[in-house]
Amino acid sequence: MNNEENKFFYKFYRTTKEAWDAMYSAVLDARVSVYWELYMFADDEAGNRFVDILCEKAKTGVDVKLIFDSIGSYELSSAAVERLRKAGAEVKWFNQLLPEWRLNKWFSRLWKRNHRKVLIIDEETSFLGGVNVSAGCGDWDDLYLQIKGKLVRPLLRGFAKSYARCGGDKEKVKRLLHPKITKGLKEWRKKFHFFIHSPMRGRNSSIKNVFFRGLSLAKESFNLVTPYYVPDKNFLKLITKAKKRGVKVNVFLPLRTDHKIMEWIARGYFELTQKAGASVYLLRNMHHGKGMSVDGKIGFVGSANFTPRGFFHNEESCVYFSDEKMVKDLNDIFEDLKSKSDVFDLEKWKKRGALNKIKEWVAEKFKDYV
């Protein structure tokens, strides 16, 4: 691999607004293509500027292809979609809820969503992580990663597959679908691995395996941040085993989330997680980021929540990396999160009211469906 192919650039973004500004600038600079696969997009005060620039780029001949989840992006108006299409952009919908006489199949389709948040500019600049585009997310903290370089080609192939599955013309992305698109990336695979997660193919979850294996192999530290937290017994057992090995396990969760049922489910695990041996840090602001670090060796960032839905039902996109500087930067983010959180106080928690305990008990009954 020559020196030019060896080059790459990365940057972490820690708030939704920071990420939006960076994405907007990247789209503004696009010369060849804009490929965007997104769970939530709304043409409100946050999304309208993206609609404007995407239309402008499409009119100048830039290849603009957009994939939106039909439930996550239900607030995207038909007028905005029509405007994008008239400008020359292609807009595709993932898993549209068309009439289906077999109700069991309809519900099965309803349950499977495209939760990815991947933006690729000119086939070499990519963004992935937890950031959606909707005004309601504007004040959130998040975790989003920009990567520039040849190593993002697997994301291109993943996008092309989604585009074809959503009814796009395969001939238009034939080049991106070919395995040769990732040729010459052998050296990159030693430090980077992209997960283009499609659980529709089976019940195995490669993303869940990454989290669990990371904790089982940790020797010094394990950090996890997720907005929604539904651990199983095996994960709690792994925390206990890690604690016995001398591993410092830190779990970062927002005290309050945008989905109340998810908030109450997670609260039911605060005490169990601490008793298993982890330090639980409750973030004061809504944090929508999803990430993990293991010692100073492994980092993992993406769109997958730490829930059964994130592991087994959603289409997700994540990246696993072992670049030393990137992992250090991610660990620095985790260290800074400690200053923006309160350590879970078990004795104080035990004094919470009966109504809160009832809410946690009821919410727990839905843990396998979120």
CATH number of the CATH domain containing 281: 3.30.870.10
Torsion sign (Cα): 50, 195, 121, 126: positive
Place of tokens 């950090």: 223
Within 10 angstroms of residue 14's Cβ, the number of other Cβ atoms is: 15
Domain boundary, last residue among 188, 212, 236: 188
Q: For residue 101, is pLDDT > 70?
A: no
What's the mean pLDDT in 71-99?
92
Average pLDDT in the 302-323 region? 94
Q: What is the pLDDT of residues 10-33, one digit of tens each?
A: 999 999 999 999 999 999 999 999
Which DSSP string do the residues of 277-295 spell out, in sequence order? TPEEEEESS-B---EEEET
State whether 216 and 165 are in the same domain. no
Between 197 and 3, whose confidence is greater?
Answer: 197
Of 156 and 356, which is predicted with more confidence? Answer: 156
Boundary residue ending a domain (135, 154, 188) = 188
Does residue 239 belong to any structural domain of this protein? yes
Both 207 and 184 in one domain: the answer is no
217 and 333, same domain (yes or no): yes
Contact criterion met (CB below 8 Å) for 337 and 281: yes
Which 3 state secondary structure label does DSSP give 328? helix
The answer to whether residue 276 scores a pLDDT higher than 80 is yes
Residue 315 within any structural domain of the chain: yes
Domain end, chosen from 163, 188, 213, is at: 188
Residue 328: inside a domain: yes
Q: Is 193 within a domain?
A: no
The tally of domains found in the chain comes to: 2
In a domain, 196, yes or no: no
Provide Rg for the chain, Cα atoms: 21
- Examine the pLDDT at 173 and tell me if it is beyond 70: yes
Residues 127 and 175 occupy one common structural domain: yes
Domain that holds residue 298: 201-369
Query: In this structure, are 316 and 274 located in the same domain?
Result: yes
Bridge-based pairing state of the strands 298-302 and 291-294: antiparallel
* 215 and 155 within one domain: no
Whether 139 and 227 map to the same domain: the answer is no
Split at pLDDT 50, 70, 90, the class of 103 is low
Q: Is 113 left (phi over 0), alpha (psi -120 to 50) or beta?
A: beta
Residue 147: the pLDDT is 96
What whole-number distance in Å separates Cα of residue 243 and Cα of residue 278? 7
The reply to whether 181 and 229 lie within a common domain is no
Q: Are residues 129 and 156 in the same domain?
A: yes
CA 32 to CA 36: how far, in whole Å? 14
Instruction: Quickly count: other Cβ atoms within 10 Å of residue 64's Cβ.
Output: 25
56 & 172 share domain: yes
In a domain, 51, yes or no: yes
Q: What is the mean pLDDT of residues 252-279?
A: 95
Q: Is residue 195 part of a domain?
A: no
Q: Is 350 part of a structural domain of the chain?
A: yes
Q: Which two tokens stand for residue 325?
A: 């500087």
The enclosing H or E element of 32 equals none
Taking the CA atoms of 94, 96, 100 and 106 in sequence, report the sign of the dihedral they define: positive
The predicted structure's pLDDT at residue 1 = 37
Q: Do 23 and 151 sit in the same domain of this protein?
A: yes
Do 295 and 170 belong together in one domain?
Answer: no
Distance CA 164, CA 168 (A): 5
